[in-house]
Chain A
Amino acid sequence: MSVLVYIDSKDGIAKNAQEAVFYGSKIAAKTGGDTIVVTSGNLDNDALSALGKYGASKVIAHNSVDLDSQQLTKLVADVANDNGSKVVIFSQDLTGKAVAPRVAVRLNAGIVSGAIALPSDDFVVKVNAFSGKAFSFVKINSEVKVISVLPNSLQPEEGAGTAEVQNESCDLGASKVIVKSRVEPTGEIDLPEAELVVSAGRGLKGPENWGMVEDLAKALGAATACSRPVADSDWRPHHEHVGQTGVAIRPNLYIAAGISGAIQHLAGVNGSKVIVVINTDPEAPFFKAADYGIVGDAFEVLPKLTAAIKAANL
């Protein structure tokens, strides 16, 4: 019984795609079957064959970009049916959020979104609930099962395998959603999937002071984020806004400078493995959620931290 993993391979294999393949292969290893990857994108076969490192035995590649959710649903559901796959894995990224629920409906499958750990033998999956204030354990009872994996929830191990690549050119119909233009990413690292994040709030006083946030992010190779009032005042682009009404993230390290730590902010970042808080106010609520705290002025601390990172040369 094979496990099918859908990943997007436009312009490269993102870390969250590696995670999804690795997650699928771990399930396949238990249930005894192949890990098949189905992908749409523009990579050549050598690049796709390297997915074997994360446990894929076969890659079925549809060479196309900008497929809409109906086309992707047809692609994934047809490959699942052709291969008799009983488990279908997605990454809970933008595409996964749009397509996984559709595929589940089409395959009459139960679905759990945002898995943060591998399922148990009887398919109980751990997910975040109540804006990260609790976990819930959800059992999938149907014969076919769909799971989407929250980015940065597990560390993929690299093995030695290579995958057989098969090009697929089935007719998916015309796209009903036409992409007209695209605002290219501002930061170099995409926030939802970033392992390291440097974030700042109203304590930075104004957009002209973000250079020191960007310098630290650059020194670390981190993505940048901000609190909601910062995005609302257009100091920073809205997709950097984290929290209950913005993006929920789960990096290994979250550095928060000049952010008070309101509960709605915490809702988006409390899944971070390690939190560093920099705040002039020793009573700021964020310190209660922090692993490391620096009581001090961000205007002095951030440049010092950047210098220390550079000096450590990690």
Chain B
Amino acid sequence: MITKSIKNNPMKILVCISKSPDTTSKISFTENNTKFDEAGIQYIINPYDEWYALVRGIELKEANGGSVTTITVGTASDDPTIRKALAIGADNAVRIDAEAKDAFFVAKQIAEYAKDKAYDLVLLGKETISYNGAQVGGMVAELLDLPYISLASKLEINGTTASITRDAKGGDELVEANLPLTISASKGMAEQRIPNMRGIMAARSKPLTVVAPAEVAETISTINYEMPPEKSGCKYVDANNMEELVDLLHNEAKVI
């Protein structure tokens, strides 16, 4: 849904885009479980970034003018996902040329790039589906000294005020805040857009600027990975014997 009626000022919007392994990917590790095995992994744009944050940013631009820039901390292997974001409708893209080591590293790079560019909105996904940290948004907001509204499922702009519906304990709440803002998107903020042929062609000539990374001290390090224990197998219970299921849940599994 495109914001109608009120004509807003054109906004400068920055959307943070990351890649994540397609959920159907089989996850495995190498080097004694210390490295994620990328062989055969299909990468997609992190769904929250693509479906919600990016599309809502583009809708706001289409309604009011302004610009949508995407930013990604990653290596040249991220370029296909960045081109897809351009094909969906971003105007230009920035890639900070470094392996995305951890959330603070990523946030610091984004903040360094954004700090003197006066974005009205910095949009992110609510979390990456690979590590589910939900950390980058809060960190960027802190580094830029901006309010942070997380888990937003609706975003409307009225002049310089944003009205946002966000997740609250067990329900939703409607909040208001003045631009500039950092907002993380959860499901509902927009509808997924499939890039069309024109978009894909146009994306080829849109600017993708590669920027050298800033120095950042490492505060955490991943030591190793572990696969969860295999399920010991499903125990079947007869559909007419729910007393037995209750007994198993109470006495064997001890969960009720």
Q: Which residue numbers of A lie inside 8 Å of B, CB to CB?
A: 68-70, 73, 92-94, 97-102, 104-106, 108-114, 124, 127-142, 176-187, 190-191, 196, 220, 238-239, 241, 244-246, 248, 252-253, 263-264, 267, 270, 273-274, 276-277, 287-297, 300-301, 304-305, 307-309, 311-312, 314
Contact = CB atoms under 8 A, between A and B. Distances in A.
16 contacts: A94-B151, A102-B142, A114-B132, A127-B131, A129-B131, A130-B27, A130-B130, A131-B132, A133-B227, A140-B219, A142-B220, A177-B177, A182-B168, A183-B168, A263-B24, A314-B246
A238 B188 contact: yes
Interface stretch (B63-71, B83-91, B199-207, B248-256): B248-256
A103 B138 CA distance: 9
B170 interface: yes
A248 B132 CA distance: 10
B147 A291 contact: no
B23 A263 contact: yes
Given A136-B224, A291-B231, A183 B23 contact: no
A93 B170 CA distance: 11
B149 interface: yes
Given A177-B147, A182-B172, A291-B231, A196 B256 contact: yes
Contact of A137 (B104, B142, B224): B224
Contact of B147 (A129, A176, A187, A290): A176
Interface in B149-194: 149-151, 153, 163, 167-178, 187-188
A105 B249 contact: no
Contacts of B149: 177
Contacts of A287: 234
Nearest to B250: A314
Nearest to A309: B246
B57 interface: no
A178 B176 contact: yes
Contacts, number: 258
Contact of B236 (A102, A141, A273, A295): A295
Given A136-B225, A314-B256, A292 B150 contact: no
Nearest to A187: B170
B239 A301 contact: yes
Interface centre among A101, A113, A134, A178 (most CB of B within 10 A): A101
B236 A293 contact: yes
A314 B143 CA distance: 51
B29 interface: yes
A197 to B, nearest CB: 11
Contact of B153 (A112, A139, A238, A273): A238
The 7 A-B pairs of least Cβ separation, nearest first, read A185-B170, A296-B239, A110-B219, A101-B138, A308-B242, A102-B142, A183-B171
A304 B245 CA distance: 11
Contacts of A179: 173-175
Contacts of B240: 304
B222 A190 contact: no
Size range of the interface on B?
A: 35 or more
Contacts of B231: 288-291
Given A101-B135, A312-B246, A142 B219 contact: yes
B103 interface: yes
A155 to B, nearest CB: 12
A134 B226 contact: yes
User: Which residue, of A98, A99, A108, A304, has the highest number of chain B Cβ atoms within 10 A?
Assistant: A98
A137 B255 contact: no
A291 B234 contact: yes
B248 A292 contact: yes
Contacts of B23: 131, 244, 263-264, 267
A41 to B, nearest CB: 12
A135 B228 contact: yes
A190 B235 contact: no
Contact of B133 (A113, A130, A184): A113
Contacts of A182: 168, 171-174
Interface centre among A177, A187, A267, A295 (most CB of B within 10 A): A177
Nearest to A77: B142
Given A130-B27, A293-B235, 12 more contacts: A70-B147, A94-B169, A105-B104, A111-B104, A131-B23, A135-B227, A181-B173, A182-B174, A239-B170, A239-B171, A294-B237, A294-B245
Contacts of A305: 242, 245-246
B249 A141 contact: no
Nearest to B224: A137
Contact of A185 (B129, B139, B171, B223): B171
B175 A180 contact: yes
From B129, B171, B175, B219, residue with most partner A Cβ within 10 Å: B219
B234 A98 contact: no
B218 interface: yes
Given A183-B173, A277-B234, A97 B151 contact: yes
A138 B220 contact: yes
Q: Which of B132, B151, B163 is packed against the most chain A CB atoms within 10 Å?
A: B132
